[in-house]
Structure 1
Amino acid sequence: MGLAWQQGPLSTKAVGQFLTAAPLPERLLFAEPLRRRMRVRFGGEWVADSEDVVLLHEPGRYPVAYFPLADVRAGTLVPEERTTTHPDLGATSWFGVGAGESTTRHAAWQHADLPPHAAVLRDRVAFAWRAMEAFYEEDDRIVGHAADPYHRLDIRHTSRHLVVRDRDRVIAETRHPIALYESGFAPRWYVPREDVDIAALTPVENRTFCPYKGLAGYFDINGHKGAAWSYPEAWPEVAEVSGWISFEPDRVDVYLDDRKLEQEPGQSVVPHGIDRGLGPDELLTRDRSRS
């Protein structure tokens, strides 16, 4: 979820509400110090390195890191004639980025005429995530988007009875599923493989990645596309679900203690803004670089 996207409190489709007498503005932006060293790599070189990054949370978008111009390598930014207008922050100037043997256009931006209340972003520049080779916190590569400190995952073990059916066929049945609670989402229930009729699942080539859980593979069930998924090697924070399988309640019938689950509104993950279209290649590149 995060603070400002999916169903976060500052998003346009928040699942909760602020208990205030007067209505809040339709759009609220929130900026805060990241308090982590962050670096940007392009053309095989470090083009930005700062311990003074400001993280901007904007409704409907992933958080964006803004670097002080003083912490951007000299000669990296190539001014462009392109300008756009941000609905809250005013005129925005764009830059190409060049380093080593590489150059790319429309790869960084700066808000050139900020209103006084947004002065914290003055003399700062943000880099388009997909245009750069990699972003790092210290020596660890960060994928997907700048890490959101308000995104939380919790795993809970339970003895509840979970059954998955496709018409009359039992696809899975367990009395020890794992509940994965992810901020902004309804609980996701994971079933150990030994409690799944694996023959009913058809693996498909489609893969996606989550910046918080890792690389997911998918299964069709009797023509129901993407009805189940699994993280073969989930990241350490949620390693317990590695290899376990979860099911989409809008594609097969999922019962929890005899209560049929329904897909809740707002649960589909849709990439936003400058990060639209991110795929698993970024994660696979990260893993290859680690190995």
Structure 2
Amino acid sequence: MESLSEVSVQFSQLSMFPFFDMAHYLASVMSAREQAGALDIASHSPMASWFSAMLHCFGGGILSSILLAEPPVGILANTTNIMLASAIWYMVYYFPYDLFYNCFFFLPIRLIAAGMKEVTRTWKILSGITHAHSHYKDAWLVMITIGWARGAGGGLISNFEQLVRGVWKPESNEFLKMSYPVKVTLIGAVLFTLQHGHYLPISRHNLMFIYTMFLVSIKVTMMLTHSAGSPFLPLETPLHRILFGLRQNQAEVRESPSSSGAKGKPSKKTLDKDSGEQSNKKDK
């Protein structure tokens, strides 16, 4: 148990720059390139392609800054990270013969990059919670919101990113149909906020280690099995029926008598047919 605690402490002291940040930028830009029409945008409007990629890479910082009434352009002050993400964007889109893209499209490399990106998700959630706490002491709703925004900002502002590429899909709004990364980030924001307020009997570094290992294992499993569904679906369905299905069940009960009554009544077409047969019998 002590060895596990020591490992979690050392894990919590990891620096995200440069390797984990590079993996995050690489996975984000690769995801941006695989969007429909992304290559056409890159060939006709490199500026729109670059801005779209930066939203994928730094969407969490931009969204959290907007929510806290801070200048969203403050992300540009981190010149080193912007230049690093821009260099990766250029090589993914414009490297001769797509050698860079094809090299990192190799599954083992993508698995490593995706796993490292999930590590950065934990750090982003924590930084958002800490930053929100510095502005609003013990305001746990604000802390959850900012931690969620910083950890899953790229998904939460996906509609704006689509507008940059000239695409408008309001039905893909994350609030209407949350993706797995957005859901698991919200869960993480709640857990770390509760731990920050000493409502969870677990140390911070142990929670970081356990949560990150969960993220990495689920992400790698989903990529290996080519699963696009949410792992939380078996829990979401019964919970949704219990918490939010009462009104739907009442509506079904109200509709059932009317539908059964409608089945018992003959249709107008049947009545007309019967009356026609009776008149024919009289004529005969």
Q: TM-score, normalised by structure 2?
A: 0.21
Q: Which has the larger radius of gyration?
A: 2
Q: TM-score, normalised by structure 1?
A: 0.20
Q: Specify which structure has the bigger relative contact order, considering alpha-carbon pairs within 8 angstroms and separated by 6 or more residues.
A: 2
**Structure with higher helix content:** 2
